[in-house]
Amino acid sequence: MMKKFIIPIASLLFAGLFATFSTAHGFKAGDIEIGHPHARAMVPGAKVGGGYMNITNNGSTDDRLVSVSSDRAASAEVHLMSVDGGVMTMRPVSGGLVVPAGKTVELKPGGYHIMFMSVTQPFKAGEMIKATLTFEKAGAVDVEFSVGNAGGPSGGGDHSTMDHKNMDHTDMGGMDMSKPQ
């Protein structure tokens, strides 16, 4: 009876590992490694989108992600989304995102992420979005964000479908995200 369950479970694990390795992509600049930059597809007409990745610092000193640019957006910034007292807030990370020596920082939905603003063409599933990440010590590195479905593997939607009515955007330079730009 046990053998009947082991083979299907092993098959699922192998398929999951194969999918992870076959779709993973990464980039390197100095001691910094950027693992699997990805974004979610956006709905037509959307002007903001999110980007996610892992940033690993293999060096012996801290580094800092100081800027992000993409020809698909008028601007891009590192933001932090959090919930405090039931109110969701999203703010730019001032001074850049510190990547501690020997550590990995995960940019993911609901936490640190790249906010692409005033997007010229909404991201579509299956395409790659070119961007440049600039680090204080490692310098600039060109990356490509792999665009998946709007729901993404972690559930939820992209920034364009979020309910921004109860979010505090006071530190976003007056940008009102409750209505399309």
Spatial separation of the C-alpha atoms in residues 55 and 68, rounded to whole Å: 14
Task: Give pLDDT, residue 151.
Answer: 72
Spatial separation of the C-alpha atoms in residues 162 and 64, rounded to whole Å: 29
Task: Give pLDDT, residue 84.
Answer: 87
DSSP class of residue 162?
A: S
Q: How far is CA 9 from the centre of its chain?
A: 30
Task: Give pLDDT, residue 157.
Answer: 38
Find, among 39, 37, 34, 58, the residue nearest to 49 by Cα.
39
Determine contact, residues 69/104, Cβ cutoff 8 Å.
no
The ranges assigned to domains in the chain are 28-168
Task: Compute mean pLDDT per 10 residues along the chain, 181 residues long, and list them.
Answer: 44 35 69 96 94 98 98 97 90 96 97 97 96 98 95 45 39 36 31
CATH architecture of 28-168: Sandwich (2.60)
The tokens of 39 are what? 């974004």
Task: Give pLDDT, residue 152.
Answer: 58
Spatial separation of the C-alpha atoms in residues 32 and 139, rounded to whole Å: 9
pTM: 0.71
Task: Give pLDDT, residue 162.
Answer: 41
Task: Identify the three-state secondary structure at position 19.
Answer: helix
